[in-house]
Structure 1
């Protein structure tokens, strides 16, 4: 679960309870079969429908053997011969074919090229077959460009200015494609055909619910986009990987990564952008969900193709759509800010937006999402212009709003220079208490990370946070706990800090950032003044255990401070090793320890080594640190772990 979703759940405990469970496709398909209905869309025989249900069941179970997997794919796709259009027009058949095509043989894929091409106009607008068209386009594009990939990613640098010449890249030899030259050529030509067809029908496809997504897929394939921000990679449905570590994905990608693509592909992206930008209704496109999504993909795509065109598109969006020159504020910003301080419910937010105190872009959620994409792709000069026209002197108001605070987070996430960060920080530095009160703590996370990244306003951030948390000289040593809980000191019972309590995920991330600051003394000293029992509660928590990482790896955390922490936990390493999150904290502490300290830790663990085997995580620690080897031959163990 992302940080943003977790924050929403924390602020509204009923949100998780009321959230609908995602639909189970296979279960629903079986319900249709029991009713004697063979799926939605085109008609399919009962025999074929049951066959596809069995195939989906087999996929869900997982097939690890590669030969068996390929045999299944070949058999199923061979079964669709002569009935391709009818099968992909059925909801169940469409899903199965869509899942199998990425693993299809060259012959099967090219057969689908021939079947789909004559019927593209109808298929692109169909609610089922359009998904197969997208999949075929993606697979064809991947196979056509696979030999161009060299292991080197085409990644935009945040440090690169608008007028800077990109750094020279070391040329690497292209890898050998596993497909024949003939198949690669056919895939290349088919991908170009589909994309040109989509471009020629741009005026119709933009407004079509299903064809619009084919336009997006075309842009992604042509520009080499691997994943969009917030997009998860599709897992291999044949192999179910089970791991103990469940690391949540980053809520927002900071850098776009692109594959290498031919120049012909890039020229088509440029043509897409130019044709859309001259539309008379271009300025209205950001304000609808369907067209806003397309423009977001277009911005990510054009960034890898033409920097000048990217700048021109952003400027056009900013001046004609986000904050046009003829837009005039109807209210007094200063007075409106006072209204927006703390208890902003949806009605208050709506009334303030409609009062005209904010630019038009903030009146529409689709437009706001496009603005966030613009912030990600903008270079420094363009970023400054967006900030000046949309955000300046409005950050306090925006940061306290339920929907718009995420846009403020993106603003800070994409800030790369000190001169930009300082005025933004100063505008919000006195409003941290308001942000805590309204629950928009994700803004504090983005500010903390921006201060770390840009190396500015770090001390001021800590001071402002202390003020918001009501930290006094008497309770200064509990500063890290107040940050972890993101609660003012008057709401924290200090006497119960040696028992389990709730740690806010945003508080954990903020404290990790502070420990990486150039002067982390307040956080470091506060942690060292806690009792071992209080530290144990933090390090044994899912979110608190990452504090051990930051403390042990912090660039400006002194060696003496780490030594003190290691000795402070003496007698508690057994307890840490037995829990899931405590064991990973123990590993980080062990890595940071000197050889002498490692021996002390191992002596404690070996003293009751049988206890380690009582839990799954204790057994893992015993194996990783070789407790048995330490007990049998300490000198050999020391040689093995010396310098590790």
Structure 2
């Protein structure tokens, strides 16, 4: 669930799965005379839903138009609700429309589907509608509890959100939420092992604890093509979650879920199966917002019984016998992962993902115990394994104190070459960010990275380029850097972190020693342009260094402004320039403003900076765009 989608190895070609076109498949079924999978639907109604899907796919930004469409379609479902939600196409349409439904329509579905919960929760289609009804009902039941910050007042007072629904509807939604969650709790033994009902258990836990998005999870994009505003998902290297306010009665149910599940005799085996591991991950994220002591008990139970039980270590005598039998093969390998010296948790991918969730929710003492029992003296080995390097990243991401980061760094610093060779460069990103966050081992990180990338002293001036490439100097054509080359996304992030370190001199000097043409290649790249952000915004990069960068690019601002990503870098460099430098830049780009206006990105930049005004009257432009504090209006 916290699995990353970034391909760390640039040499390995990523094969994308061809995305299934649901609408095209629905039309294909209709041509064959099959009205979708699941319950049978009349041909007329099936074709109607196909047409509705086509309309929704085109998008609708007008709220009134959308409300009218939702009301009309849900009105058409009257009398056939059970039949429609059991059909593949009907289920999909209803699932999309329910979040926008009126109070009357939602309550109608609640009333009709409630008596059939046992059958519907285990159905491969209608279970999705039950999940959606639960999420929508919980959202409406708790909407009035959420707080909004008012920016007008200096203290930013928080006010409760006013609900647009009647008190009666809110009460009905509240009761339905409790009914579904209690029903799931009462049928816990059956639902845990059911592929579809298990997802309802997860949704119930998320709703009861106020979770909107799990770490690494992206919001679902509705076919109405709504733009994602606030919920953009939680990036992999972020360690904070936002929870909504929920009533105490909801929190009590989460406690009951945790207590009942942890009391199972087979609890220790649950982390080792995909279905149950995913449920436990959601449970950990949920209980974190509800009960700290119960979170600690759960983590302790998982650590002692599942992740690294005391009896997993073989005795010394057994080790000697094994050495005699195996000779050269010191360790046993299972599924490509060395398990002879690793705790059982690392033998199974499902358990590994649960371990990552445990690291996310653990407090300092519990975090230390997990680190000591599972990771210490094994980080180098884990970092080079494709499946396990993500767990090392999560371990480092959640490290908050200097005393724990230092031994982690000391263990990994001698393994940088092996990590680079394996392509698991995300570990280096996590380490670079941790050094920045905790303000420790920054110089040592730069030196360790430099020792792996640079073998000869004459190559030191190319440190920034080699960092961007994440390749040693002998594998890079250093005399051909004026032509476009591949920039590793992790290398770009690492260089940005180094520029924000307390002593970024090596990276700054390396960038400033590059020719303007070589800098242009970096700043016009999708990943390289962010280096300009860090260079211009870092508090540890001196003003003189920024001035040198501004003057160094003189004569190349026109090319920079014409590029999609170069225009981003241009804005950052322009923002860091002094008034005198800004005027020089404006003189350069206004000289050939026709070229600027001929490019999509150049035109946007020209309008933003007021190039036309500058050409007509430099004095008026200075009055409008320059300030004593050197900030652009």
State the 1:357 CA deviation: 1.2
User: Map of 1:2-17 to 2, 5 A cutoff?
Assistant: 4-8=4-8, 10-13=10-13, 15-16=14-15
State the 1:585 CA deviation: 0.4
2:9·2:423 contact (CA, 8 Å) conserved in 1?
Answer: no
Select the residue among 80, 84, 87 that pairs with 1:87: 84
Task: Quickly say closer, same or farther: Cα 1:528–1:453, change in 2 above 3 A.
Answer: same
Q: In the alignment, which residue of structure 1 is the partner of 2:137? A: 140
Q: In the alignment, which residue of structure 2 is the partner of 1:161? A: none
2:308·2:345 contact (CA, 8 Å) conserved in 1?
Answer: yes
State the 1:455 CA deviation: 0.5
Per-residue CA distance 1:356-412 (angstroms, 9 max, x = gap) = 210000010000000000001111111100000000000011001011011101111
Q: In the alignment, which residue of structure 2 is the partner of 1:563? A: 547
CA distance, structure 2, for counterparts of residue 3 and residue 482 of structure 1: 28
CA distance, structure 2, for counterparts of residue 108 and residue 264 of structure 1: 26
Per-residue CA distance 1:84-104 (angstroms, 9 max, x = gap) = 000000000000000000000
Task: Quickly say closer, same or farther: Cα 1:639–1:589, change in 2 above 3 A.
Answer: same
CA distance, structure 2, for counterparts of residue 558 and residue 595 of structure 1: 17
Query: Is 1:596 the counterpart of 2:593 in the alignment?
Result: no
Q: Report SS of the residue matched to 1:260.
A: coil
Q: In the alignment, which residue of structure 1 is the partner of 2:27? A: 30
Task: Quickly say closer, same or farther: Cα 1:68–1:86, change in 2 above 3 A.
Answer: same
Select the residue among 46, 49, 60 that pairs with 2:57: 60
Query: Is 1:545 the counterpart of 2:542 in the alignment?
Result: no
CA distance, structure 1, for counterparts of residue 38 and residue 225 of structure 2: 30
Q: In the alignment, which residue of structure 2 is the partner of 1:625? A: 609
Select the residue among 284, 300, 317 that pairs with 2:302: 317
Query: Is 1:454 the counterpart of 2:438 in the alignment?
Result: yes
Task: Quickly say closer, same or farther: Cα 1:6–1:173, change in 2 above 3 A.
Answer: closer
Task: Quickly say closer, same or farther: Cα 1:93–1:487, change in 2 above 3 A.
Answer: same
State the 1:581 CA deviation: 0.5
- Structure 1: gaps spanning 5 or more residues: 154-168
Select the residue among 248, 256, 268 that pairs with 1:263: 248
CA distance, structure 2, for counterparts of residue 331 and residue 421 of structure 1: 32
CA distance, structure 2, for counterparts of residue 3 and residue 142 of structure 1: 27
CA distance, structure 2, for counterparts of residue 418 and residue 104 of structure 1: 51
CA distance, structure 2, for counterparts of residue 367 and residue 248 of structure 1: 23
User: Map of 1:100-499 to 2, 5 A cutoff?
Assistant: 100-151=97-148, 172-239=158-225, 241=227, 250-329=235-314, 350=335, 353-354=338-339, 356-499=340-483
The Cα RMSD (Å) is 2.2
State the 1:242 CA deviation: 11
CA distance, structure 1, for counterparts of residue 180 and residue 588 of structure 2: 66
CA distance, structure 1, for counterparts of residue 117 and residue 519 of structure 2: 63
Task: Quickly say closer, same or farther: Cα 1:9–1:98, change in 2 above 3 A.
Answer: farther
1:7·1:442 contact (CA, 8 Å) conserved in 2?
Answer: no
Which structure 1 residue ranges, 4+ long, deviate > 4 Å from structure 2?
240-243, 329-332
State the 1:348 CA deviation: 6.0
State the 1:599 CA deviation: 0.8
CA distance, structure 2, for counterparts of residue 11 and residue 411 of structure 1: 26
Q: In the alignment, which residue of structure 2 is the partner of 1:532? A: 516
CA distance, structure 1, for counterparts of residue 609 and residue 226 of structure 2: 29
State the 1:253 CA deviation: 3.8
TM-score of the two chains, using structure 2 as the length reference: 0.93
Task: Quickly say closer, same or farther: Cα 1:174–1:180, change in 2 above 3 A.
Answer: same
State the 1:614 CA deviation: 1.9
Task: Quickly say closer, same or farther: Cα 1:248–1:231, change in 2 above 3 A.
Answer: closer
Q: Report SS of the residue matched to 1:142.
A: helix
CA distance, structure 2, for counterparts of residue 56 and residue 10 of structure 1: 38
Query: Is 1:582 the counterpart of 2:566 in the alignment?
Result: yes
Q: In the alignment, which residue of structure 2 is the partner of 1:77? A: 74
Task: Quickly say closer, same or farther: Cα 1:475–1:255, change in 2 above 3 A.
Answer: same
CA distance, structure 2, for counterparts of residue 375 and residue 254 of structure 1: 10
2:211·2:242 contact (CA, 8 Å) conserved in 1?
Answer: yes
CA distance, structure 1, for counterparts of residue 573 and residue 251 of structure 2: 49
State the 1:12 CA deviation: 1.4
Task: Quickly say closer, same or farther: Cα 1:503–1:612, change in 2 above 3 A.
Answer: same
CA distance, structure 2, for counterparts of residue 226 and residue 66 of structure 1: 23
State the 1:251 CA deviation: 3.2
TM-score of the two chains, using structure 1 as the length reference: 0.92
Question: How many equivalent pairs are there?
Answer: 612
Q: In the alignment, which residue of structure 1 is the partner of 2:492? A: 508
Greater shift, 614-623 or 527-536, is seen at 614-623
Q: Report SS of the residue matched to 1:10.
A: coil
2:149·2:157 contact (CA, 8 Å) conserved in 1?
Answer: no
Per-residue CA distance 1:91-124 (angstroms, 9 max, x = gap) = 0000000000000000000001101110001100
State the 1:152 CA deviation: 6.0
CA distance, structure 2, for counterparts of residue 129 and residue 422 of structure 1: 52
State the 1:230 CA deviation: 1.5
2:454·2:460 contact (CA, 8 Å) conserved in 1?
Answer: no
CA distance, structure 2, for counterparts of residue 3 and residue 290 of structure 1: 15
Per-residue CA distance 1:559-578 (angstroms, 9 max, x = gap) = 00000000000000000001
State the 1:353 CA deviation: 2.9
2:49·2:90 contact (CA, 8 Å) conserved in 1?
Answer: yes
Task: Quickly say closer, same or farther: Cα 1:348–1:433, change in 2 above 3 A.
Answer: farther
Task: Quickly say closer, same or farther: Cα 1:505–1:348, change in 2 above 3 A.
Answer: farther
Task: Quickly say closer, same or farther: Cα 1:4–1:210, change in 2 above 3 A.
Answer: closer
1:3·1:506 contact (CA, 8 Å) conserved in 2?
Answer: no
CA distance, structure 1, for counterparts of residue 253 and residue 48 of structure 2: 41
2:337·2:347 contact (CA, 8 Å) conserved in 1?
Answer: no
State the 1:148 CA deviation: 0.5
